[in-house]
Structure 1
Amino acid sequence: MIKSLSRRSLLILGVSASAAAACAQTPRPSSDLAVYKSPTCGCCGAWVEHMTAAGFQARITEVTDPGSVRRAQGVPESLASCHTALIGGYVLEGHVPAEDVRRLLAERPEAVGLAVPAMPLGSPGMETPDGRREPYETLLILKSGGTRVFARHG
């Protein structure tokens, strides 16, 4: 009986240790946001404020050519906007809403990242005093270079 109890205890201990190790290795979604922007862009700062208000921690790097960061990350020029950010292994191009970033980090799709091209009015950081909003889409940038709609806004 003692041998069987001892084996059972060892088995339980081994399973518990494996489960604890698996939990410890599960990556949590990152809240660290690296933002690359031109020193003269005001709307980029407003987008960073939107992201920090949503709980993200931004580190801003001012670059003379934000396009160099975009190109290095594999974002097609057709998706270009005024700033590029990196978070959790993904790239964010333009005025991507915080809720879309949270969803991206939760779902972890096989993709380069998200883009909101063309700086639409009413997107985070592009708010207007009169509250005008343009409908826009957040696009998922696929590793093939294509896109698909990730979210619709407005």
Structure 2
Amino acid sequence: MNRRQALLGLVALPAVAQIASAAAAPVVVVNKTPTCGCCGLWVKHLQAAGFAVQVHDLENLSPIKERVGVPFGMGSCHTAEVGGYFIEGHVPAEDIKRLLNEKPAAKGLTVPGMPAGSPGMEVPSGRVDRYDVLLVDKEGKTSVFATHGGDKK
């Protein structure tokens, strides 16, 4: 290998590392209704955070919510799956990354309802209501995984 080949190899390393990193990242499969605007905005939030996203537009999400184990009363407008977990509602990308990094024994994360200011539910004033991201364990019990907005007490 000559000096020129070595230098070209060094220049290419960051691009190769970026491609390898993107290939290793799990794809987020998002199930949503075709007419929901906030779901599309949440998908854009995930893409901006570096996730590859596959979208399935469906009229009825109930069978998916039931299959993945979203507890009754903990649902929202879209259900995603990534890395063996469900992601229900407007969960911030940073919390999904934490979930995938920590790998708790759980079914997934949920943000019940549609809190103002959560990803996909942004408001012009920039206000973010306080909301919790809940971890759903294997038995379907919930605990607070993260808190966002408001004063976070």
Equivalent in the alignment of 2:93: 98
Using the alignment, how far apart are the partners of 2:110 and 2:62 within structure 1? 14
Equivalent in the alignment of 2:64: 69
Equivalent in the alignment of 1:11: none
Q: Number of residues paired by the alignment?
A: 127
Select 1:40's aligned residue among 28, 31, 35. Answer: 35
Equivalent in the alignment of 1:12: none
Using the alignment, how far apart are the partners of 2:39 and 2:63 within structure 1? 17
Q: Do the aligned partners of 1:29 and 1:88 also contact (CA within 8 Å) in 2?
A: no
Equivalent in the alignment of 1:137: 132
Using the alignment, how far apart are the partners of 2:72 and 2:32 within structure 1? 16
Using the alignment, how far apart are the partners of 2:126 and 2:72 within structure 1? 29
Q: Percent identity?
A: 53
Q: CA RMSD in A?
A: 1.3
Structure with higher Rg: it is 1
Using the alignment, how far apart are the partners of 1:29 and 1:147 within structure 2? 29
Using the alignment, how far apart are the partners of 2:131 and 2:31 within structure 1? 23
Using the alignment, how far apart are the partners of 2:146 and 2:24 within structure 1? 19
Using the alignment, how far apart are the partners of 1:130 and 1:29 within structure 2? 37
Q: Do the aligned partners of 2:25 and 2:52 also contact (CA within 8 Å) in 1?
A: no
Using the alignment, how far apart are the partners of 1:44 and 1:31 within structure 2? 19
TM-score (normalised: structure 1): 0.80
The structural deviation recorded for 1:130 is 1.6
Q: Do the aligned partners of 1:121 and 1:127 also contact (CA within 8 Å) in 2?
A: yes
Query: Which ranges in structure 1 are unaligned for 5 or more consecutive residues?
Result: 1-27
Q: Which runs of 4+ in 1 moved over 6 A?
A: none
Aligned: 1:83 with 2:78: yes
Query: Which ranges in structure 2 are unaligned for 5 or more consecutive residues?
Result: 1-22
Aligned: 1:110 with 2:78: no
Using the alignment, how far apart are the partners of 1:47 and 1:68 within structure 2? 21
Select 1:153's aligned residue among 138, 148, 151. Answer: 148
Using the alignment, how far apart are the partners of 2:70 and 2:101 within structure 1? 21
Residues 68-124 of structure 1: CA distance to partner in whole angstroms, max 9, x if unpaired? 211111111211000000000000000000000000000000000000111100000
Local SS of the residue matching 2:73:
helix
